[in-house]
Chains A and B, each alone.
Chain A
Amino acid sequence: MLSLRPEEDEKLRKLLTELNRESKSKIVLLIDKSGQLISRSESPAFSSDDITFASLTAGNVAASEALSKLLGDKNLNHMFTETEDEGIYMILIDDKYILVSIFDKNASNLGIVRVKIKKYYGKLVELLRQIEERIESESSVTEQIDVEDIDLDTLFE
């Protein structure tokens, strides 16, 4: 089970926010390959639904990966999609996570984004590995969670 402690959450967010600023992106997201949004840069101006964005990105990457496998078991490393105004750059980390930068093409470009990601990549990998090690060393995180009194009836109208 993947989990984040408050101090880890803060470190991740700080790192992504710095990367976001330096690469002049609109937002930088860290997603796991099953589609969960793990962390994102502080980017108040980004107003799209980040949860849904994460799920679609993971689907997109999964489909492209499957395509490259069909072409002879080559690994997918990164991919780039663009709209008229925006670029979306996705890069795989440790074959488990996806780092995404969304940038305005008038404010930044693919070259800058890739250079800045390269700069932070090592730090990010190290941080994620530390988190994984911490998770592995813990026997159970869930006793601190009270899920018993979740009332699903309140969800519906």
Chain B
Amino acid sequence: MPFINFATREINCKIVYYGPGLSGKTTNIKWIYDHIKPENKGEMITLATETERTLFFDFVPIEVSNVKGFKVRFHLYTTPGQIIYQASRKLILKGVDGVVFVADSQEERHDANLDTLDDMLENLREYDIDIEDLPLVFQYNKRDLPNVLPVEVLRRDLNRWNSPDFEAVATKGIGVLETFKEITRQVLKKIKR
């Protein structure tokens, strides 16, 4: 749920990166954080295990001022992809304004993509969020690896809503910005509506 403050002229929105374990969610928002100008970002938080697996969430606050006087804040969150953290994933979806589903393109991770998508749909249902009405972007990540599925297969199996989708190599920043821009565009468009 966006929060608009007419006194400070700020709009706040929450964007969640969802996807199976190791698909590259943290890599996406870390890349964004590292490439954003210092004056446009707050402090990044990562709640991770010793082995850099997300334990609860990562958080990046981003600020954009526009000429007409409103400042927009995007709060980016990642969920923990590992199966055992199902309860935490649900907590992070609370009040979400837009979702980026980061899929792992590798063939052997496809079942994990599908399971995680089911898990997301279930959690959204429990919050009474209609996915048809939720800004949503798919990202097929790790396109640099040898054993990846064709995009058509990933699209057919995962992107059942014909949402905008992008191929990515998050470690190199390929597709990261495109994905981010598309989700923010959709979120802002929905506020406007």
Contacts and interface: CB of A to CB of B under 8 A. Distances in A.
Contacts of B159: none
B184 interface: yes
Report whether over half of chain A's contact residues are helix, strand or loop; otherwise say mixed.
mixed
B7 A9 contact: yes
Report whether over half of chain B's contact residues are helix, strand or loop; otherwise say mixed.
mixed
A68 interface: no
Contacts of A5: 6-7
Contacts of B64: 150, 152, 154-155
Interface in A46-105: 49, 51-52, 55-56, 59, 62-63, 66
Contacts of B42: 49, 51-52
Contact of A33 (B5, B11, B95, B191): B95
Given A49-B43, A66-B91, A152-B184, A3 B6 contact: yes
Nearest to B59: A55
B188 interface: yes
Contacts of B68: 146, 149
A9 B5 CA distance: 8
Given A6-B7, A62-B94, A156-B36, A34 B191 contact: no
A150 B188 contact: yes
B67 interface: yes
Nearest to B39: A155
Contacts of A149: 66-68
Contacts, number: 131
A1 interface: yes
A110 interface: no
A97 B41 CA distance: 25
Given A55-B59, A142-B193, A145-B70, A2 B2 contact: yes
Interface in B1-34: 1-8, 11-12, 14
Interface of A: 1-6, 8-10, 32-38, 49, 51-52, 55-56, 59, 62-63, 66, 141-142, 144-152, 154-157
Given A33-B95, A141-B4, 8 more contacts: A8-B7, A34-B94, A36-B3, A59-B91, A141-B6, A142-B191, A150-B72, A157-B37
Interface of B: 1-8, 11-12, 14, 35-37, 40, 42-45, 47, 56-57, 59, 61-62, 64, 66-70, 72-73, 75, 77, 87-88, 91-92, 94-96, 177, 180-181, 184, 188, 191-193
25 contacts: A1-B3, A3-B4, A4-B7, A6-B7, A9-B5, A33-B94, A36-B3, A36-B14, A51-B73, A52-B44, A52-B45, A52-B61, A55-B61, A59-B92, A66-B91, A141-B6, A145-B11, A146-B66, A146-B68, A147-B11, A147-B188, A152-B180, A152-B184, A155-B40, A156-B35
